[in-house]
Amino acid sequence: MKVAVFSTHRFEREYLEKTLDGKHDTKYINSPLSIETASLAEGYEAVSIFVSDNASTAVLQILGKIGVKFLVLRSAGYNHVDLEAAKKLNIKVARVPEYSPYAVAEHTAGLMLALNRKLIRSHNRVMEQNFSLDGLVGFDMHEKTVGIIGTGKIGSVVTKIMNGFGCRILAFDKIENHELKNKYGALYTDCETLCRESDIITLHVPLTLETKYLIDKSFISKMKKGAMLINTSRGALVCTKDIIDALKNGQIGYFGMDVYEEEEHLFFEDHSEDILQDETIALLMAFKNVLVTGHQAFLTKEALRNIAVTTLQNLDCFENGIKTNNELLV
């Protein structure tokens, strides 16, 4: 099958080439999929896209017109794809439902530790030969209460890691995981109790109409003053304006984010020579108690390998008319 791979990043190309080349006729395109670039897929049956690509109705209509039949995502999230439009255009869509829950969970723990122990500030001081410890006091993770919102595959691994630190774990999810309750001491409770009692809150739910701006002014007002909030799931789970207000008044003591609701034209690209136009993220980056990473929680060798392998499996299934559980249906 002829496959056009959009948004080919240097960090993933080695894994894609090793897995796809020789099995499919693959064209690698550095540019993201958009209205302007969709025509580059002319003559190709399948298109593979990254989480930051645009698969809106207008883009899918162009793809459908030039003969694209399959859209293969290199991500678990699919809120950048208009599935209704894809169905009408008879374009089949498949995703990578999981690539490494350990990658995201471990990055989550890394953000907690870096914020708590002020590792970035400490490193910057030492690089200037300043070995003062003033302002670097952290806290023991042991016996702190960690609230985990969403105990799917990633949230479950976070629960196990936090259990290893000796934390008290509160969990909120529609479906309770009995292993986490019985083996790791997770106590399922309502969202209000979780945010009232937790020293650290971490988000691991998908972005839906129900969860958009889950963390807003009302939720934040119920949190323990000075608590830590971590988001490695989806940017729009939090209302960024309300987060900034809470950082200013001290209601949120620490904020770690790997995702941002306006990341589409910012993350995954080098803007080091540009003037940053996004005033909101510029303000967030100015806080000493905020740590921003550029949607890299997934970025491990194992995850990249799994993404490439599942992408190949999805392409093979579509080519051979075999049903795949990874297909996204309206």
Task: Give me the chain's average pLDDT, please.
Answer: 96
Catalytic one among 263, 273, 302, 327? 263
Task: Please state the rounded mean pLDDT for residues 164-190.
Answer: 97
9 is catalytic: no
**Which of 202-206, 272-276, 294-298 shows the lowest mean pLDDT across its residues?**
272-276
| Nearest Cα residue to 213 out of 188, 192, 255, 241 | 241
Interval 201-246: pLDDT, tens: 999 999 999 999 999 999 999 999 999 999 999 999 999 999 999 9
Catalytic one among 295, 302, 305, 319? 295
295 is catalytic: yes
Residue 253 has pLDDT above 90, yes or no: yes
Residue 137 has pLDDT above 90, yes or no: yes
Q: Given pLDDT bands bounded at 50, 70 and 90, which one contains residue 128?
A: very high
Give the pLDDT of residue 148.
98
Domains in the chain and their CATH numbers? 2-99+301-320 (3.40.50.720), 101-292 (3.40.50.720)
Q: What does DSSP say about strands 187-188 and 200-203: parallel, antiparallel, or unpaired?
A: unpaired
Task: Please state the rounded mean pLDDT for residues 47-51.
Answer: 96
Helix crossing, 301-320 with 10-20: angle to 10°? 40
Give the pLDDT of residue 179.
97
Q: pTM for the complete prediction?
A: 0.93
Interval 67-100: pLDDT, tens: 999 999 999 989 899 999 999 999 999 999 999 9
Interval 23-45: pLDDT, tens: 999 999 999 999 999 999 999 99
- The answer to whether 198 and 228 are in contact (CB under 8 A) is no
117 is catalytic: no
Residue 265 has pLDDT above 90, yes or no: no
Catalytic one among 234, 264, 279, 327? 234
Place of tokens 């304006």: 241
Q: How far is CA 199 from the centre of its chain?
A: 22
| Nearest Cα residue to 85 out of 93, 94, 76, 77 | 93
